[in-house]
Amino acid sequence: MEKINKTQDYGLTQEINAVYEEQRDEITSFICDLIKHPSLLGHEDSAQNFIEETFVNLGLDIDRFSINHDELKNVEGYSPSVGDWDGHDNIVGIHSPKSQNGKSLILNGHIDVVPVGADDLWSSPPFSPTIKDGRIYGRGGGDMKAGIAAYIYAFKTLKKIGYRPAGHVFLQSVVEEECTGNGALACLHRGYKADAAIIPEPFNETIMSAQMGVMWLQIEVTGKPAHVLHDTMGNNAIEAAFSIWEHLKGLARLWNDKNHTHTAFHDVTAPVKFNLGKISGGEWASSVPTRCVIDIRCGFFPGQSPQEVRQLIEDYLNVATERDTNLKSINHAITYRGFQSPGCVVDTNSEFINLLSNTHESHLGRPTELFASAATTDVRTFQLYGHIPATCYGPEALNIHGIDESVSIQSTMDVSRVLCHFMTQWCGIEKS
Ligand SMILES: [Zn+2]
């Protein structure tokens, strides 16, 4: 593959950069306004209305649609839904060029945000954004409303100086990235394809080279009830659930062993992340609990299929629980809902990645790095099922999924500017 070392100069660099400086306050306000729409799972509607209005003002054609689970559940890459909601739509803004000479591009971001956690721990309310030291604080600011702002302003800036991409560009704002990925999959299934796709996830201006697979599973643990006076007669389901969790942590350690790791993750410490995210069980304080349910997130390497991983987990737990004398009268049953998502690897020698990397370096004056992610993103959908070269390239953020999440305004501006220049090179431009 020919390496692109020089980008075509349309003589627009100074003009684009000048427009960005004028837009700093506007971009900051846009991200804050978007954070104010608390787009938690199943409540994305008001944020999507805001996005739709923005896309209309950019002159894009709008395609707004909900996920049809009946249709999608037989499609490769589908993950069993974790709920059913009204007002839970994807929005695609479609730019169709006059000339259609250039390559096409998907700019994708997820509108859904993760739960806030204990909101009393936040320095300010999570959906009332605050600005401090060049950063915007608020849930979803980094992950990934600033990224959505970055691609929207990349498009808007080009429009402001009187140009538009000479290839099709699809601006996608999708739901369910944080639990199934079915939002992005629904876009693909609807027919949206392109020569490349970029997701500005908050990975600190790196270019994502690989991502781990992720699986959600729920284990229902059933013990034997008894009065606490006779606790040796019963088997405590909550304690048993913790024993099972300890066994699973042993499996994660095994997979993280250097002999087991995937080459793309050789430099990453313990890329296999298992997380006990939720627990519920027991009846009241004076009975040995009968039942306990734990929700777990497991990571696994690219190349392993979800079916294979499920089998490995079940076989491992069957052997471990049989040997564990504490679990003699305990039954466990596993169900799989949410992410059943394989990992993937990005071809970092492609024309696409070279151009993105060179555009970053030439416009920001610093090199970018490759990043192998222990988390999953919608990149897998484009790569594995759409056969569309895809990566993540987005701003610097802190505490995503945590307390006091924040994103850098300057980094968002920089990423947006790079995306704007990238678009001119990848798609070409035409007068609007
Ligand atoms: Zn994200």
Task: List pLDDT tens digits, range 237-248.
Answer: 999 999 999 999
Residue with tokens 């009204």: 86
Contact residues for 214 (Cβ-Cβ < 8 A; gap 6+): 297, 298, 299, 300, 339, 341, 375, 376
Q: pLDDT digits over 182-210, tens only?
A: 999 999 999 999 999 999 999 999 999 99
How many whole angstroms from 201 Cα to the centroid of ligand 1?
A: 5
How many whole angstroms from 110 Cα to the centroid of ligand 1?
A: 7
Q: Helix or strand or coil: residue 76?
A: coil
How many whole angstroms from 380 Cα to the centroid of ligand 1?
A: 13
Average confidence (pLDDT) over 364-392:
97
How many whole angstroms from 417 Cα to the centroid of ligand 1?
A: 20
How many whole angstroms from 251 Cα to the centroid of ligand 1?
A: 26
How many whole angstroms from 109 Cα to the centroid of ligand 1?
A: 8
For position 2, what pLDDT does the model report? 35
How many whole angstroms from 315 Cα to the centroid of ligand 1?
A: 32
For position 1, what pLDDT does the model report? 32
How many whole angstroms from 143 Cα to the centroid of ligand 1?
A: 5
Tell how strand 331-335 and strand 105-110 pair up. Answer: unpaired
How many whole angstroms from 108 Cα to the centroid of ligand 1?
A: 11
Q: What is the pTM of this model?
A: 0.94
How many whole angstroms from 304 Cα to the centroid of ligand 1?
A: 22
State how far the Cα of 188 lies from the Cα of 65, in Å rounded to an integer: 12
Q: pLDDT digits over 330-357, tens only?
A: 999 999 999 999 999 999 999 999 999 9
How many whole angstroms from 1 Cα to the centroid of ligand 1?
A: 31
Residue whose C-alpha is closest to residue 55's, from 93, 105, 107: 93
Tell how strand 275-281 and strand 291-300 pair up. Answer: antiparallel
Phi, psi (5° rounding) for residue 270? 45, 65
3-state secondary structure 165-226: ECCCEEEEEECCCCCCCHHHHHHHHCCCCCCCEEECCCCCCCEEEEECEEEEEEEEEECECC
pLDDT band at 6 (very low <50, low <70, confident <90, very high): very low
Burial profile 1-33: b = 16 or more Cβ within 10 angstroms, e = fewer: eeebeebeeeebeeebeebbeebeeebbebbbe
State how far the Cα of 55 lies from the Cα of 94, in Å rounded to an integer: 9
- CA angle, residues 360, 365, 369, in degrees to nearest 5: 50
- CA angle, residues 406, 109, 57, in degrees to nearest 5: 100
DSSP 137: E
pLDDT band at 85 (very low <50, low <70, confident <90, very high): confident
How many whole angstroms from 140 Cα to the centroid of ligand 1?
A: 8
How many whole angstroms from 14 Cα to the centroid of ligand 1?
A: 32
Neighbours of 280 (CB within 10 A): 11
DSSP 405: -
pLDDT(287) > 60: yes
How many whole angstroms from 126 Cα to the centroid of ligand 1?
A: 17
- CA angle, residues 293, 295, 298, in degrees to nearest 5: 140
State how far the Cα of 418 lies from the Cα of 363, in Å rounded to an integer: 7
Share of the chain above pLDDT 90, in %: 88
How many whole angstroms from 371 Cα to the centroid of ligand 1?
A: 15
What structural domains does the chain harbor? 13-211+344-431 (3.40.630.10), 213-341 (3.30.70.360)
How many whole angstroms from 375 Cα to the centroid of ligand 1?
A: 9
How many whole angstroms from 171 Cα to the centroid of ligand 1?
A: 16
How many whole angstroms from 249 Cα to the centroid of ligand 1?
A: 25
CA torsion 169-174-180-185 (nearest 10°) is -40
How many whole angstroms from 44 Cα to the centroid of ligand 1?
A: 15
pLDDT(9) > 90: no
pLDDT(3) > 60: no
How many whole angstroms from 210 Cα to the centroid of ligand 1?
A: 15
How many whole angstroms from 98 Cα to the centroid of ligand 1?
A: 33
Share of the chain above pLDDT 70, in %: 96
